[in-house]
Chains A and B, each alone.
Chain A
Amino acid sequence: MKKAQFKIQEMAFILLAIVLFFVIVGLFFVAIYSRNLKNIATNAEEGQAILIAQVLAEYPEFSCGSLCLDADRLIVMNKRRKYTNFWPVETIEVRKITKEEEKECTLENYPDCNYFKVHNSETENIRKVGSFTSLCRKDITSGQTYDKCELAKILIGYEVR
């Protein structure tokens, strides 16, 4: 092999190394950028959904204080047709966190149930997101009334466009 050929080969390897270096650096930045982008999008979506859930939980139609849904009010608001256009979301559900089998609440079986379907617009292509909350109702023990609170999740369904 002649000297000139060696020089060309050496140059080719150097070019290869430089390209490889920039590819790695590029990959590094792309990975960091896409990771941040995904985090930002997830956080924004999650934050917005939780915010809507929290705002709904504060509606006087449901609320019994901060982070508290009043089960007695939920059962009254269950599938009220007059409120169909009032809600800013497609579906509103509240599920108790329990081992028991899912049992939808109606005026007949309340409070022996664990699932409130407050609003359902029958829209298809819905994505549900939720937030933890307390689900409280009045109960009686030894003749005394007290607030019995359970853990629940308020699930908001919004249309995916």
Chain B
Amino acid sequence: MKKAQSEIVGFVLIVVIVAIVAVFFLGFYLRRPSERIDNKELVNFLGSLNRYTTNCSVNYRIEPLDISSLSGICYDNENALCLSGENACQVLNSTISELIELSWEEYWFKIYYEEDDIQDSIIELREGECLGNLIGSSQPRDHGLGTIVMNIRVCD
């Protein structure tokens, strides 16, 4: 092979390699999942979920508690009982699980207590693995000295 021919082969190789690398990065960039927070649908979902009336009443209040109040009771005392004798945290967990499963296919949901830099998980539910874009929302509310945060992320 002459010198000129080998130069051409080398040049073509470089072009091909650069093209492959460019296509790889382009593909990687386009597939990169993004995350949008405070999606309106999820904001409404969390707002409505907070108001949902569970079938748990505690002794100082005869009317059944909503999810927002029940999560506070569950955080304060994980052995708290409903008037029916069921564990308040279990009622909270099963109620939320059922509603989320009926509403979303892939989700990551959690309720946690936050005070300064400390986070205590109250509930964490996860289903599926989202490979695409994520949308999410958080709703905090004051509880004691800290905040109880309800957070959800689902696949777009």
Residue from B19, B23, B40, B103 whose CB has the most chain A CB atoms within 10 Å? B40
Check A6 against B4 for contact (C-beta < 8 Å): yes
A12 to B89, CA, bound (A): 72
- Which A residue's beta carbon lies closest to that of B63? A146
The segment from A23-31, A71-79, A83-91, A105-113 that touches chain B is: A23-31
Residue from B41, B44, B48, B64 whose CB has the most chain A CB atoms within 10 Å? B48
Do A151 and B64 contact each other (CB < 8 Å), given the known contacts A28-B26, A31-B26, A99-B102? no
Q: Which of B1-48 contact A (CB under 8 A)?
A: 2, 4-5, 7-8, 11-12, 15, 19, 22-23, 26, 29-30, 40-41, 44-45, 47-48
- Taking the closest CB of chain A, its distance from the CB of B118, in whole angstroms, is 30
The verdict on A58 contacting chain B, using a C-beta distance below 8 Å, is no
Check B48 against A144 for contact (C-beta < 8 Å): no
The verdict on A10 contacting chain B, using a C-beta distance below 8 Å, is yes
Q: Which of B23, B26, B52 contacts A151 (CB 8 A)?
A: B52
- Which B residue's beta carbon lies closest to that of A98? B102
Q: Which of A24-63 contact B (CB under 8 A)?
A: 24, 27-28, 31, 35, 46-47, 50, 54
Check A10 against B8 for contact (C-beta < 8 Å): yes
The verdict on B71 contacting chain A, using a C-beta distance below 8 Å, is no
Q: Which residues of B contact A35 (CB under 8 A)?
A: 30
A20 to B23, CA, bound (A): 11
Q: Which residues of B contact A17 (CB under 8 A)?
A: 15
Check A132 against B103 for contact (C-beta < 8 Å): yes
Instruction: Tally inter-chain residue pairs, CB-CB below 8 A.
Output: 93
Q: Which residues of A contact B53 (CB under 8 A)?
A: 146-150
Q: Chain A, interface size: which category?
A: 35 or more
A21 to B64, CA, bound (A): 66
Q: Which of A6, A20, A67, A141 contacts B47 (CB 8 A)?
A: A67
Check B44 against A13 for contact (C-beta < 8 Å): no
Do A50 and B40 contact each other (CB < 8 Å), given the known contacts A99-B98, A142-B62, A146-B64? yes
A148 to B66, CA, bound (A): 9
Do A46 and B26 contact each other (CB < 8 Å), given the known contacts A20-B15, A144-B62, A147-B53? no
Q: Which of A47, A50, A132 contacts B48 (CB 8 A)?
A: A132
5 contacts between A and B (CB under 8 A): A13-B12, A67-B48, A97-B103, A134-B52, A148-B64
A-side residues, CB < 8 A to B, are 1, 3, 6, 9-10, 13, 16-17, 20-21, 24, 27-28, 31, 35, 46-47, 50, 54, 66-68, 97-99, 131-134, 136, 141-142, 144, 146-152
Known pairs A24-B26, A133-B48 / 7 extra A-B pairs, C-beta < 8 Å? A1-B5, A10-B7, A35-B30, A67-B44, A149-B51, A150-B52, A152-B48
